[in-house]
Amino acid sequence: MTTENWQQVKRIVGECLERPASERKAYIAEACGGNLEIAEEVASLIASSFEAGDFLETSVVEQAESEDLLPGQQLGSYQLVELIGHGGMGSVYRAARTSDFRKEVAVKVVKRGMDTEFILERFRQERQILAALDHPNIARLLDGGATSDGRPYIVMELVTGQPITEYSTAHRLTVEEKLRLFQTVCSAVQHAHQNLVVHRDLKASNILVTAEGVPKLLDFGIAKLVAPDSQRTAAIFRLMTPECASPEQVRGEPLNTLSDIYSLGVLLYELLTEAKPHQFTTGDSAEIQRVICDQEPKKPSAIRPLAGDLDNIVLKAMHKDPLHRYSSAAQLSEDIGRYLSGQPVIARRDTLRYRASKFVRRHLAATVAAAAIFVSLAGGLGVSLWEAHLARMQRERADRRFADVRQLANSLLFDLHDAIKDLPGATPARKVIVDRALKYLDRLAHEEGRDPGLAEELAAAYIKVGDVQGGPNYTNLGDRTGALASYQKALQIRQALAAANPADLQARRGAARVYRRIANLQMFLGNLAEAQNSARQALGIDQAIIGDPRHSSEDEKSLARNYELIGDLLSGNGTSGSLNDDRGALENHRKALEISSAEPLDNSLLARYVRAVFQEKVADDLTRLGEREEALRLLESAQPVFEARVASGDSTARTDIALLQYRIGDTLLITGDAAAALPHYRTALELSLLQLAQDPQNAHLQLTAVQGYTVAGFALTRLGRLAEGLASMQTGERIIRSEIAKAKETGANQGALALILILSAEAYRTSGDKNQALVRGNQAADIFQSMVKAEPRDAASRLNLAACWNFLGRIWLEQGTADRARKAFQDALNLAEPSGAPGGWRSEAAKYVLADGYAGLGGVASRSGSLSEAQSWYQQSISVWERVAHPCPLRPDTFPTLGPTPVRAELDRINSTLARQGLHPR
Amino acid sequence: MPSDPKDVTTLLLDWSSGTNPAALEQLMPLVYSELRRVAARQFRRETPGNTLQSTALVHEAYLKLVDQHRVQWQDRDHFFAVAAQMIRRILVTKARERKAEKRGGGQAKLLFDDAIGLPGRVDMDLIALDDAIAGLAKTDEQQARIVELRFFAGLSIEATAKTLGISPATVKRDWIVAKAWLFRELSRGGGRDD
């Protein structure tokens, strides 16, 4: 290159770096004026200048100065032997214990000139935490101190080895060997994360593999210790290794465990492909930001021959959005384990909701409900780190608030590791964290609430805090009122945003989402009226959005989910209690199905699955209303979708098929066709047992199996095959009693037992064994009574108990103990009446109970000879029956019922008796 | 053994004026040991939190060694340039010696031995850097000098500018480009021994 050209190159490069990043490309193009040689040189030098970082910045003299520690010098109980190397933060020496020279260690002395006071303090505070990291694959922190002139140093386990990528290449490891090595690394990272230590600088050069093949992680948390989050050092760190930086690091945001997961992803990428995931051309920070934050790396399988699943694993770990990455190093390691053993990996599947049968759902109220409510991380140790973090955030200037708030929200979003969840002191610590977070957010909202960009971040943060407060995992410890308050704050912000920007659909979507969250929480708490209110608000917003031509197909899905939610509230699908409006439920569930079946039809498996779920819900509603044909049609058309899911490799879909078969069986049984029901129950039971064999500890599956034995047995008794039927029910009973004996007295288990008792009682009754029937009926009533006591607002429990009373009353009546019978029927009516109150004849199940109750009292009156009283009761019973569109031989939840026919017969008989006695029928 | 200022000054003048080019060889160890002494002294004086000024280091050595009354300001600048060259020459020579000793394998890392006095090790392939700087000098002598002054003598931008008689802005720009160029050279070469 000529001298003139070189001068020009220098000039252009110098100019270019003075300009803001966004203008650089344009300036280069203009200044080089078409001279290719110059342009190439300029670009190359600029890239190189960024990669160079602080190359040559520390002069020889300075480096020599800092090496003031001589071999032989004493530091604490160690004597320095020789200098091993230089790091960005200081120098590393090999040293030996004075008392035992065979014990060699590494001593790291921090570079002079950094903010020593601050660092010393941090060292003191956090050395204990790092010293607690005790893992065979983490270089142990042994000791620490300060030199006589106040420079901090740390003493660590001495590790000799090769960086993991070099080791892997040098030893020509196979893919499997690389993966297993990587899993060891993951377990080390997991250990540190559980102790609330983030590495922040995970890269191949920090992971040495010894000659014996043992990987050792260096510098855990050191990066945090020696690099205060000031702008300058953040900038330096950012530029030093741009390829390894995570999106949040590039943006200058504080880092958390999810950033470590990203780094693990990069490491895995490098291990498997022996190449770096990102390349840079000009190297300016705009490009760095763009490439790392927006550009997807090349798939590993495009570089080396690798299985597609490995692609998915790497890319999930390296996802730009921290929330989409693996939530823990353990999870990443497990997925690799799944790949190695040939199982489907999480990274590829969508996680779909677990569906519980209506029976199981009814009694599992406490564990069902709300959509994604995340749980946050807290541990006793976390408080001090968190406080330091908060204090630091408060010192930042206003223009960093966005990142802070987002980071606040994100850092509350760690999935809980079991070990930390069980830490003593977790709950009070968590409360402290939440309180401080709220204080911070409240203050921010007060000071800067009018800034729309910040406002949205605040709203999101409030929601996350609310999730932490109200999380269902801590049913006894959750602060649900607090959660609602936080959601309300988020709602207010989003409503204000929506009002200020009427054209902005996103703000409205956000408001709808908060309403849904509130609705779910209210549902979970049993405040059904409020839940419905919130759900309707969400619905209103969604409908308005649909009316806007700019709406998307996601909005349609959201609208469908709203209808589903309202339908669930009205029908009692899986909630503790319901608003008992079967027709209303049907209407809403139908709408949900309609919307999701509209053109253009999404035929992906997921969309079809969602439609199948809706179909099941509509079918449930129809069954309750006795409309059997349509119900069966819908149920049968759901089967192929579940089968397709099983075929696609999702074995949990077999449970869906089992539950579907139960439904079909129930529909047939309730409408009086026990013979047709039986084969479906058999199929369902087989599937349940198959699932149970593979996962014997699964409580849900156990209940499903118990249910299978019970209903199959009951169906047999309805067909007159009493011995067989009772035997089957006894099998179910044995299982459930043994579960309860193992001290698993959950509501669901009790409910299951009660159902077995009442159904077998009915079987005994029809076989003539009244005593057994009474014994079991009473036991069932006891259980239902305790359930009603525990959840007085749960309509289903009340109705179950009422049905028990009706059942017992009938037997007592037959045996002649009229007083007991009367009391039983009265109790039943008291329980059932509020549900079926005038003005609200909306629950089919309630109607059955009421009708039976009235009929029962009619029978009592009739037996004692008061015929006109009897007439009046029977008439009331009939008037209830007339409100039942399709009376079925069994109640919607398979409980036996008297049915209208005998009642009509009795009424006719009494009418004619009274007529003969000269009294006119009314 | 304390250096006789007169000696150093004479040697400096001789070399600077061109009368006795060999004077440089004699100057080297004298200047260097003074640099070492000053550095150690400055370090012991250091209170935690203050950064060491390497410009001050070279200044101080200069003040100690050279009789102010006898030299001109150009000579002082010469001194600095000399100091830089000296340090470079010494380090690289040592590095080549060590490399010859090791005979094969690995980067030649330099260990300051007791003769020189400053303990420690510079983690970089000085030989490769030296070659690269020589290459840079072919295209742009000024840049090479800047690198010498900044990296080997640790002079600040301003002091470098003064020594070379150019503007600080030029120094800054040339320095950035030189670093980038050298980094690229070293990355391509891999910095490994052949």
Q: pLDDT digits over A716-762, tens only?
A: 988 988 889 999 999 999 988 888 887 666 667 787 888 889 889 98
Phi, psi of B67 (to 5 degrees): -75, 110
Q: Is A228 helix (H, G, I), strand (E, B) or coil?
A: coil
Q: Which residues pair with A587 in a beta bridge?
A: none
Model pLDDT, residue A777: 92
Mapped to the 3 state alphabet, what secondary structure does A113-134 carry?
CCCHHHHHHHHHHHHHHHHCCC
Cβ-nearest to B177 among A13, A69, A112? A13
The lowest-confidence range among A160-164, A200-204, B40-44 is: B40-44
Cβ distance of A55 and B183 shorter than 8 Å: yes
**How far apart are alpha carbons B132 and B179 in whole angstroms?**
11
Nearest chain B Cα distance for residue A320, angstroms = 30
Residue range A488-495: mean pLDDT, rounded: 87
pLDDT in tens, A372-388: 111 122 222 233 444 44
CA distance B180 to chain A (A): 4
| Helical spans, DSSP H, in A132-174 | 164-170
Please return the burial class of B87, using the count of CB atoms within 10 Å of its CB with bins 0-12, 13-18 and 19+. buried
Residue A411 has pLDDT above 60, yes or no: no
Dihedral, CA of residue A238, residue A243, residue A246 and residue A249, to nearest 10 = 0
Looking at mean pLDDT, say which of A127-141, A216-230, A804-818, B66-80 comes out highest: A804-818
Confidence of residue A227 (pLDDT cuts 50, 70, 90): very low
Burial grade of A202 (CB within 10 A; 0-12, 13-18, 19 or more): buried
- Between CA A48 and CA B146 the distance in angstroms is 19
Give the residues of chain B that fall short of pLDDT 50: 1-2, 43-53, 103-123, 190-194
Residue B108: what pLDDT?
34
Q: Which of A45, A56, A64 sits opposite B120 (nearest CB)?
A: A64
> Is the distance from CB of B183 to CB of A55 less than 8 angstroms?
yes
Contact A70, A49 (CB under 8 A): no
When pLDDT is cut at 50, 70 and 90, the band that residue A434 belongs to is low
How many whole angstroms separate alpha carbon A512 and alpha carbon A506? 10
Q: Which pair of tokens denotes residue A458? A: 């605040």
At residue A412, the pLDDT reads: 39
Selection from A815, A795, A745, A286 nearest residue A570 by Cα: A795
pLDDT per residue over A91-112, tens digit each?
A: 778 888 888 777 888 887 766 5
φ, ψ dihedrals at A868, nearest 5°: -70, -35
| pLDDT, tens only, A444-485 | 677 655 566 667 777 877 877 777 676 544 333 467 788 888
The neighbouring-strand residues paired with A109 are A91, A153
Of residues A248 and A300, the one with the higher pLDDT is A300
Other CB atoms within 10 A of residue A221 CB: 22
* pLDDT score, position B137: 92
What are the chain B neighbours of A71 within 8 Å (beta carbons)?
119
Contacts of A47 (CB under 8 A, 6+ apart): A280, A281, A282, A283
Helix (H, G, I), strand (E, B) or coil at B129: helix
Question: What is the structure's pLDDT at A188?
Answer: 93
Residue A593 confidence (pLDDT)? 93
A122 vs chain B: nearest CA distance in angstroms?
Answer: 16
Residue A128: phi and psi, rounded to 5, are -60, -40
Identify the three-state secondary structure at position A581. Answer: coil
Chain B residues near residue A6 by CB distance under 8 angstroms: 139-140
The strand pair at A215-217 and B110-111 is best described as: unpaired
List the single best residue of A4, A59, A279, A282 to mutate versus B (max B Cβ within 10 A).
A59
The predicted structure's pLDDT at residue A471: 53
pLDDT of residue A583: 85
Chain A residues inside the 8 Å CB shell of B35: 61
Show residues of chain A in contact with B112, CB under 8 Å.
64, 67
* Residues belonging to chain B with any Cβ–Cβ distance to chain A shorter than 8 Å: 35, 39-40, 42-43, 46-52, 54, 57-58, 87, 91, 112, 118-123, 139-140, 147, 150-155, 172-174, 176-177, 179-184, 187
Chain B residue at shortest CA distance from A119: B49
CA–CA gap between residue A104 and residue A668 (Å, rounded): 78
Whether A714 contacts A733, CB under 8 Å:
no
Asked if A150's CB is within 8 angstroms of B118's CB, the reply is: no
* Contacts A112 to B, Cβ<8 Å: 46, 51-52
Tell me what the mean pLDDT of segment A820-835 comes to.
Answer: 86
Q: In this predicted model, which residue has the larger pLDDT, B136 or A604? A: B136
Sign of CA dihedral A28, A33, A37, A38: negative
pLDDT at A463: 79
User: Are the beta carbons of A85 and B123 separated by less than 8 Å?
Assistant: yes
Most confident of the ranges A33-37, A637-641, B39-43: A637-641
pLDDT of residue A240: 45
Inter-residue contact A870 to A858 (CB < 8 Å): yes
Question: What tokens appear for A829 in the block?
Answer: 């009516």
Lateral strand order in the sheet of A78-86: A74-75, A78-86, A90-97, A104-110, A152-157, A141-146
- pLDDT for A267-324, tens place per residue? 999 999 988 888 766 555 667 778 888 888 888 888 888 887 888 899 999 998 887 8
Indicate the domain borders of chain B.
5-187
Burial label, A198 (beta-carbon count in 10 A; 0-12, 13-18, 19+): buried
| Residue A367 in this model has a pLDDT that exceeds 80 | no
- At A812 the pLDDT is 92
Is the pLDDT confidence value at A357 over 70? Answer: no
DSSP B66: S
Q: Give the closest of A9, A60, A150 to B152, CB-based.
A: A60
Calculate what percentage of chain A has a pLDDT beyond 70. 75
For A866, which DSSP code?
A: -
Which segment of A61-75, A125-139, A331-345, A557-571 scores lowest on mean pLDDT? A61-75
Which residues in chain B are contacts of A115 at CB distance < 8 A?
A: 49
Higher pLDDT: A419 or A906? It is: A906
Q: Is A267 within 8 Å of A207 (Cβ atoms)? A: yes
**Candidates A10, A44, A55; nearest CB to B179:** A55
Q: Which of B120, B174, B187 sits opposite A83 (nearest CB)?
A: B120
The whole-chain average pLDDT of chain A stands at 76
Residue B40: CA count within 13 A, CB half-sphere:
12
Residue A885 has pLDDT above 70, yes or no: yes
Sign of CA dihedral A151, A157, A160, A165: negative
Burial code (b: 16+ CB inside 10 Å, e: under 16) for B91-117 equals bbebbeebbeeeeeeebbbbebeeebe
Q: Is the pLDDT of residue A203 over 60?
A: yes
Instruction: Check residue A24 and give its pLDDT.
Output: 76
- What pLDDT was estimated at residue B105? 42
A803 pLDDT above the threshold of 70: yes
Which residues in chain B have their CB less than 8 angstroms from residue A205's CB?
none
Question: What local confidence, expressed as pLDDT, does residue B13 receive?
Answer: 73
pLDDT, position A164: 93
Position A633 scores a pLDDT of: 92
Is 0.95 surpassed by the pTM of this model?
Answer: no
**What type of residue sits at position B190?**
G
pLDDT at A90 over 70: no
Q: What is the pLDDT of residue A744?
A: 62
Of A44, A59, A83, the CB nearest to B121: A83
A120 against B44, higher pLDDT: A120
Nearest to B52 among A14, A48, A65 (CB): A65
- pLDDT at position A822, please? 93
Q: Tokens 């509209």 identify what position?
A: A598
Residue burial A649-667, b: 16+ Cβ < 10 Å; e: rest: ebeebbbbbbbbbbbbbbb
Residues of chain A in contact with residue B172, where contact means CB-CB under 8 angstroms, are 14
Query: Per-residue confidence at A670, pLDDT binned at 50, 70, 90?
Result: confident
CB contact under 8 A, B46 and A149: yes
The CA distance from A645 to the nearest CA of chain B, in Å, is 53
CB contact under 8 A, B122 and A60: yes
CA distances to A39, A333, A812, A867, A906 from A872, in Å: 102, 71, 21, 9, 12
Residues of B in contact with A13 (CB under 8 A): 173, 176-177, 180
pLDDT bracket for residue A903 (50, 70, 90) = confident
Q: A70 vs chain B: nearest CA distance in angstroms?
A: 7
Lowest-confidence region among A197-211, A275-289, A416-430: A416-430
Q: How many CB contacts within 8 angstroms connect chain A with chain B?
A: 123
Chain B residues within 8 A of A149 when measuring between CB atoms: 46-48
Q: Which of B152, B179, B182 sits opposite A59 (nearest CB)?
A: B152
